[in-house]
Amino acid sequence: MNPFHSGFMQRALLAGILVGASCSILSNYIVLKNMSFIGHGISHVAFGGVALALLLGWNVNITTLAFSLLAALAIGLVSQRGRVSEDSAIGIFLVTGMALGVLFISLKKTYTPDVMGYLFGNILAVSWGDILMIAVTGFVVLGCVFLFFKELFYFTFDEEMARVSGIAVTFFHFVLLALIAVNVVIAIKVVGVILVSALLIIPAVTAHQITGNFRWMIAVALGVGMISNFVGLYLSYLLDIPSGSTIVLSLFCCFLIALALRVIREKRGGTVSKKKG
């Protein structure tokens, strides 16, 4: 049985792999810079954008993107000013975004069948227009990481020292936030608002269990993200389960395998060093 003969599955596969690749590359910076909660917050604010677009009949992609970018900017500004701690600010935006979403959906008097798709992902409804947007986003992420590799690496490792050596730290902070916002929008297609942060966290955490080299970490995370999206989609088709769930569970399995490999390696290493000692 080959599920990828049909057009919608081909689009789903392409979208899944591209989103997996884009989010996985970005996840390395998110995880190492301890920004995991930001992705979670932005995705929930994005739901407000989705609901507003559904209510007013606007373009969902553009409205959600605007909401996500505004959320990223607001979180960035609040954390720079330092009056409210960053996680508190994210917490506030997160619940406000969801509350707005619920409000807008309630205001819409007619039935809104799409809502579940946006909450939990509906990759089978991906259009060629969506794929174009996903591909452009992936290209922008790849381009930024390639062009600003050394600046982002230093910024992620030690923000203060990066500033001392003349790197525009504030600019790169906002670049990362903007990239997270854009990736949230494309990832909502695949796994939905609730599960988006999985794509922005698990690939890098998995890769970090396996390697202590940053370049390898990016490569492993990329592999994990793409393979999990492929396997998750296949299982979704086979078992008739929403793709968001199967993709996230595939990612989680990869994480468990990586964790197990690390524990085994450390135990072996421990035995060797004990023998040496």
Partner 1 sequence: MTKENVIEIKNLSYRVEDRYILEDITLEVTPGSLLGIIGPNGGGKTTLLKIILGLITHYQGEVRVFGHRPDQLGEDRHRIGYVPQHSHIEQNFPASALDVVMMGLYGKMGLGRFPRRKDYAKAREALALVDMEEAANKQIGKLSGGQQQRVFIARALVNDPDLLILDEPTLGVDAKAMSSINDTLLELKESMGLTMIIVSHDIGIISISADSLACMNRKLYFHQRPEELDRKTLEEAYACEVEMLFHGELPHRVVERHR
Site membership for partner 1, residue 174 (CB under 8 A): no
Residue 90 vs residues 4, 74, 78, 96, 100: alpha-carbon distances, Å: 39, 9, 9, 10, 15
Please name the helix (run of DSSP H) or strand (run of DSSP E) that holds residue 1, with its range, or none: none
Tokens 């707005």 locate to 100
Site membership for partner 1, residue 166 (CB under 8 A): yes
- End-to-end Cα separation, the chain, in angstroms: 56
Binding range to partner 1, per CB under 8 A, among 88-96, 165-173, 177-185, 249-257: 165-173
- Cβ nearer to partner 1, comparing 56 with 164: 164
The contact mask relative to partner 1 for 19-38 (x = CB under 8 A, - = no) is -------------x------
Binding range to partner 1, per CB under 8 A, among 50-58, 123-131, 164-172, 227-235: 164-172
Residue 105 vs residues 100, 102, 194: alpha-carbon distances, Å: 9, 5, 16
- Report the alpha-carbon distance of residue 186 to residue 178 in Å, rounded: 13
Binding range to partner 1, per CB under 8 A, among 37-45, 49-57, 156-164, 193-201: 156-164
User: Which of 172, 132, 133 lies closest to 151 in space, CA to CA?
Assistant: 172
C-alpha angle with apex 26: 20 to 137, nearest 5 degrees?
65
- Cβ nearer to partner 1, comparing 111 with 146: 146
- Cβ nearer to partner 1, comparing 113 with 277: 277
- Cβ nearer to partner 1, comparing 127 with 165: 165
Positions touching partner 1 (CB under 8 A) are 32, 147-151, 153-154, 157-158, 160-167, 208, 211-214, 216-217
